[in-house]
Amino acid sequence: MSSSGSEKVAEALFDAAEIFLQMRFSVIPVYGDQKPDQAKVAAVDWKPYQTRFARPPELRRWFFEMGARGLAIVTGKISRLVVLDFDDEGLAQTFLWRFSHLCETRIVYSAQRNLPHVYFRLPVGVTLPSRRLQGLDVQSDGRYIITPPTTINGSRYRVRRAGFPRELAREDVYLIQRFIEEVASVQASVQTAVPIQVQAAADAKAPLITMRTAEECRNYYLAVAPYAGRNNALFRAALMMRDTGWPLEETLAVLQPLHVALAKPDERPAQREREAAATIRSAYSRAARPPQQSTTGLPNSLREALLGREQLALLRVLDGLLMDSVPTGALMTEKEIVERLAGRVGRYSILQALRTTINGQLIFAVQPPFPRPHTPTDVATSPGMVEKKKCKQMGVTLSDKNRGRPAKRFQMPSIEWLCRLLGVRWTRSDPVQPADLQSPAQYRRALHREFIKRRPGTYHVKWLARRLNVVDRTIQRYNHVCGVSVLPMFERYPVNNGMMHVIAAPIRGMFLEDARGKRYPCLPEIAKRLMRQHKGALLCIQGFSHYTHPEGRYMAPGLAVKPNPATEDPDSVFYIEPAVPKPQQAPKTPQIAAHAAYEPAAPSRAAPAPYRPTLKPRSFRRVLPDAALEAAANRLYTLVRDLIAQARGAGGAPLSIANARQLAVTYGPELLASCQKVLQSRRNIHNYAGFVVSFLRSEANVQRLRAAHGG
């Protein structure tokens, strides 16, 4: 490495260490690429730094004189920091899904395994002991964690989510400790190759799916195996059968041959048979879980997929039939379906659902009508009767034929087939009451209410709206009607001189706050005055709101009640289900520049540098030397002129060609093109030239702010 490159690395490490010291984290150097075989070993005696913070001269000596090429944070009491270091991807995904309400925190991905390090700040007086488990290391007292911008063998530690670590409440520490104990107990009892995260996930809750027949057991195994793996699917199916009441011998007889039949070419059948037997016996090593109240409804993944296709009528009909325990493959006429769903779903919606097709396939398959049974009058129309005779003295025989066309029969589809048709996974189902089916709005409200009751946490309102295929205002109305509590969440960062460019271009939800909690507008002048007066200025950015329901187990942050271990299971607040598709994953909170400055942003993520005028004002009266800029200016000038002409003078003063050229040079052709799209789509603009200037200035500020935030 060249001397200039070494100096840049040393400067990056020094700057990052200073930032961590400002965050009250104790830092130490590690060898990194200086000694690749000892990359994670501390370059100094780091025991003193478990009780005191390093000083700037020490930082300079570590990185500029000693040449250390790595940085680590001392966890535990000195930094009030605990880090969950995951070495197993499945276990990491289980934790992030199960405790999504706690994962709005600092997350760093390791260099070589690319697995998450989840940072948490402990409450004062609370400790979480260090622990080393298979797939999970709890880094606390007496440990340290490698952090960016450290590079090991060309692989870089990178920040997935920057900012301060989330400060846990005592109840949160209790839940995390229970999760760690659960993983440890599973590892102590399970002696097979079954993944740890599957055992912990499956034992967390009793099943909502019952395995009544061998065919249902095989179908569940085949439905879960493509995304969870064959071993995981086998273990989950064995747990379901165990909890349903199947004996061990019958479970072995059903699942073991299927597991052996799916062996790969390089796997021996005898080995697969032994693995299957060990996995199934492991599932039966514990007592069956107590049954829960079953919810006979569509899987949540299937509901969200159909909501995205605007199939509300089909959803309500399917959920209504499942509530009536209609089995898969049952044949029903339209009249029978209307009678079953009377008072819940109207006839028009039922007819619409029966005609629904997805990907060219009819959901309710139409079967031929039943043949008409033989009646006494059939003799009159039989081929043997050549001549019809009537007895005048006898009464006329009444016709017993059903007039009209024979009724069509519709077949109830299976959940497994619907999941394959829509390409979604078979997940759990939120309970829906019969009264919730009476209208599309009531059905959507019920899904929103049950989701918040089941998984309270921090969400983006647009994500909640996209999940139900509605707009943001509808979610706000649902919150009011359903009694959902919405708590605004804020991220607070100490103001320094390096953040003035962010304060100068504030976005919605940003304000300043002093140590007494008094709020101020987000202006550089006020920030500098608060810094001079030493009032502890903080930059507050409103993040995603926290949603809870009064009937849910987990309340808003800071208001949670610690569960009683003797009567309540704290892990029953959330359940484990298969990983959700990408559309269900909530967006991440915006990040702040002061805590991500030491990580070089990737070229693809960096915002394009805005154009700066290099010509004098009079020069814009002539054609620009750059043909692309000249063409962009002419397109904008022509569009504004035509729009004002269509508005018959009501569109304000025109935009001159000189001003259009100046805007093109200042902001670039990309922003001008986006401005033209907005102009063509909107019809409520009263001053086109003023709108163009305001729009371009605002978009340029947004680009600069995104670049400062690292995305």
Cα angle value 467/468/472 (rounded, 5°): 90
- How much is the average pLDDT of 514-534? 86
- Which of the 8 DSSP states describes residue 486? E
What whole-number percentage of the chain has pLDDT above 70?
77
Structural contact between residues 28 and 49, judged by C-beta atoms closer than 8 angstroms: yes
Instruction: Map out the domains of the chain as residue ranges.
Output: 3-186, 206-283, 444-584, 617-708
What are the residues whose beta carbons fall under 8 Å from the beta carbon of 131, sequence distance 6 or more?
137, 138, 180, 184
Tokens of 293: 């109240």
In the DSSP assignment, the letter for residue 580 is P
Tens-place pLDDT, residues 201-248: 333 343 444 556 777 778 778 777 765 678 888 888 888 888 888 889
Kind of pairing between the strands at 81-86 and 136-139: antiparallel
Q: Is 587 left (phi over 0), alpha (psi -120 to 50) or beta?
A: beta
Asked if residue 149 has a cis previous peptide bond (ω within 30° of 0), the answer is yes
Residues 260, 266, 268, CA angle at the centre, nearest 5°? 40
Q: Which long-range contacts (CB under 8 A, 24 or more apart) does 383-390 make?
A: none
CB 151 within 8 A of CB 33: yes
Which residue has tokens 């898969």? 328
| Distance from C-alpha of 437 to C-alpha of 440, rounded to nearest angstrom | 7
Interval 634-672: pLDDT, tens: 888 888 888 888 877 666 778 888 888 888 888 888 888
Could you tell me the CA-to-CA distances from 332 to 68, 367, 416 in Å, in that order?
75, 10, 20
| CB-CB contact of 159 with 588 (8 Å) | no
Q: Under CATH, what is the fold of the domain 3-186?
A: Prim-pol fold (3.30.2250)
Higher pLDDT, 351 or 575: 351
What is the C-alpha to C-alpha distance for residues 141 and 178, in angstroms, rounded to an integer?
A: 19
273, pLDDT greater than 50: yes
- Cα-based distances in Å from 20 to 73, 280, 523: 8, 49, 26
Exposed e or buried b per residue across 515-538, where buried means at least 16 C-beta atoms within 10 angstroms of its C-beta: eeeeebebebebbeebeeeebebb
Q: Which helix (H) or strand (E) holds 335?
A: helix 334-340
Largest CA distance in the chain: 127
Task: Determine contact, residues 157/147, Cβ cutoff 8 Å.
Answer: yes
Give, in order, the Cα–Cα distances in Å from 593 to each of 27, 408, 599, 711: 20, 65, 10, 10
What average pLDDT is seen over the chain? 77
CA–CA dist 293, 307 (Å, integer): 25
- Which pLDDT score, from 0 to 100, does residue 146 have? 92
What's the rounded Cα separation, in Å, for the pair 435 and 369? 33
pLDDT in tens, 593-618: 333 332 333 333 333 344 444 445 55
Question: Residue 39 pLDDT more than 80?
Answer: yes
Closest CA to 110 of 40, 45, 18: 40
d(CA 345, CA 317): 7
Interatomic CA distance for residues 311 and 304, integer angstroms: 10
Q: What's the pTM value of the predicted model, to 2 decimals?
A: 0.42
Q: In what order do the strands lie in the sheet with 485-487?
A: 457-459, 545-548, 485-487
For residues 607 and 707, is the Cβ–Cβ distance under 8 A? Answer: yes
Q: What is the pLDDT of residues 392-419, one digit of tens each?
A: 444 444 444 555 667 788 989 988 888 8
Averaged pLDDT, 376-385: 53
> Which structure tokens are listed for 41?
């070993």
Share of the chain above pLDDT 90, in %: 11
The pLDDT of residue 537 is above 90: no
Pull the structure tokens for residue 319.
């959920």
Torsion over CA of 177, 183, 184 and 185, rounded to 10 degrees? 110
Query: 294: which 2 tokens?
Result: 């079953």
Beta-sheet pairing, 510-513 with 26-30: unpaired
Distance CA 465, CA 442 (A): 15
Of 441 and 582, the structure prediction assigns the larger pLDDT to 441
CA–chain centroid gap for 220, Å, is 25
Q: How far apart are CA 5 and CA 424, in angstroms?
A: 49
Res 609: pLDDT: 42
Q: Please give the full DSSP string across 340-400, using - where no structure is assigned.
A: HTTTTS-HHHHHHHHT-EETTEESSEEEPPPPPPP-GGGGGGSTT--S----TTSPPPPP-
Q: What does DSSP say about strands 116-121 and 166-167: parallel, antiparallel, or unpaired?
A: parallel
Higher-confidence residue of 184 and 189: namely: 184
- pLDDT value, residue 515: 78
